[in-house]
Amino acid sequence: MPQSLKALIFDVDGTLADTEGLGHLWAFNQAFQEAGLPFVWDTDTYRVLLAVTGGERRIHHFLSTRPDLPSLSRERVAQLHQRKTVLFGERVQSGHVLWRPGTKRLIREAKHKGLKVGIATTTHEANVHALLQSAFGNEWPSWIDLIGAAQHVENKKPDPAIYHWVLQQWGYGPGDVIAFEDSSPGLLAARQAQIPTVITMNEWTYDHDFTGALAVLDNLGEPGAPARVLIPKGQDNVVVDCNVLQQWLEAER
């Protein structure tokens, strides 16, 4: 590995796992239905709302664009989001939310090579715990060294605050780590913190602007099922491992 590379930092929603459609969107709509609210988010609406990071902020933003709907107090929105978080955790535990190809494999490889693995997300830490439990069981703390989540910073992505927080906890500089994101707000957050960033786009983010990314792929790949590489240009399909990350970093430098 490059001498400076000490850690990998992963976003959660859409990056570690396919959490959006069968996870968060389902949980939002279930919470709305339980509360007797007169609206449902369809996939087109949710795709637009994903540009707003943080669940409570997403609800407030939606209501601000729909004066025909009843207004909700900040306390009521917070209660709705709390219920949504519980529903999401139950959804994960039921097996409906699947991890993306290559993420668990790369985390295990990085740890075996002595790198730290951290999380930098705008979602609630309870959501992260549920997801990690689904993948690694009760041993998940031995695979994940640090979780930076919504409660640790005031400003959400694309603000770089959560990345600055993670780096500060470790005492690392931006050249010591690589970030993994799936969206343009996530990329902007990591790049504003000057962190090289690998993008694994998905059905919700394939049309985002990924200018400045170290690499852009459809996933991280698995042996026998490599990822499709969009950036760097001219590269064959790959299974992203620590050696591939080294090559990309050295090419950028």
How confident is the model over 116-133, as pLDDT tens digits?
A: 999 999 888 988 999 999
> Would you place residue 240 in the very low, low, confident or very high pLDDT band (cuts 50, 70, 90)?
very high
* In the predicted structure, residue 143 carries a pLDDT above the cut 80: yes
> Residue 1: what pLDDT?
45
Last residue of a domain, one of 93, 108, 136: 93
| Residue 151 sits in the same domain as residue 214 | yes
> Residue 253: what pLDDT?
72
**Phi, psi dihedrals of residue 147, rounded to the nearest 5°:** -120, 115
The one catalytic residue among 13, 176, 182, 218: 13
Across 181-192, average pLDDT: 96
Which token pair is 174? 């931006």
* Amino acid symbol at 66: R
Instruction: Note down the domain range covering 65.
Output: 20-93
Examine the residue annotation and report whether 176 is marked as an active-site residue of this protein: no
CA distance 190 to 198: 10
CA distance 82 to 55: 10
CA distance 190 to 196: 7
Across 141-154, average pLDDT: 95
Our count of domains for the chain comes to 2
| Residue 146 sits in the same domain as residue 214 | yes
Residues 10-58: pLDDT tens digits? 999 999 999 998 899 999 999 999 999 999 999 999 999 988 888 999 9
| Residue 128 sits in the same domain as residue 198 | yes
Peptide bond preceding 158 in cis form (omega within 30 of 0): yes
| Residue 63 sits in the same domain as residue 169 | no
Examine the residue annotation and report whether 209 is marked as an active-site residue of this protein: no
Residue 21, helix vs strand vs coil: helix
Q: What is the CATH number of the domain that holds 57?
A: 1.10.150.240
Across 239-247, average pLDDT: 93
Last residue of a domain, one of 93, 122, 154: 93
CA distance 56 to 28: 10
Residue at 2 is within a domain: no
* In the predicted structure, residue 246 carries a pLDDT above the cut 90: no
CA distance 167 to 161: 10
| Residue 86 sits in the same domain as residue 192 | no
> Would you place residue 2 in the very low, low, confident or very high pLDDT band (cuts 50, 70, 90)?
very low
| Residue 112 sits in the same domain as residue 76 | no
Q: What is the CATH number of the domain that holds 121?
A: 3.40.50.1000
The one catalytic residue among 11, 18, 159, 182: 11
| Residue 107 sits in the same domain as residue 227 | yes
**In this predicted structure, which of 46-50, 110-114, 187-191 has the lowest mean pLDDT?**
46-50
| Residue 72 sits in the same domain as residue 172 | no
| Residue 191 sits in the same domain as residue 113 | yes
Confirm whether pTM is higher than 0.75.
Answer: yes
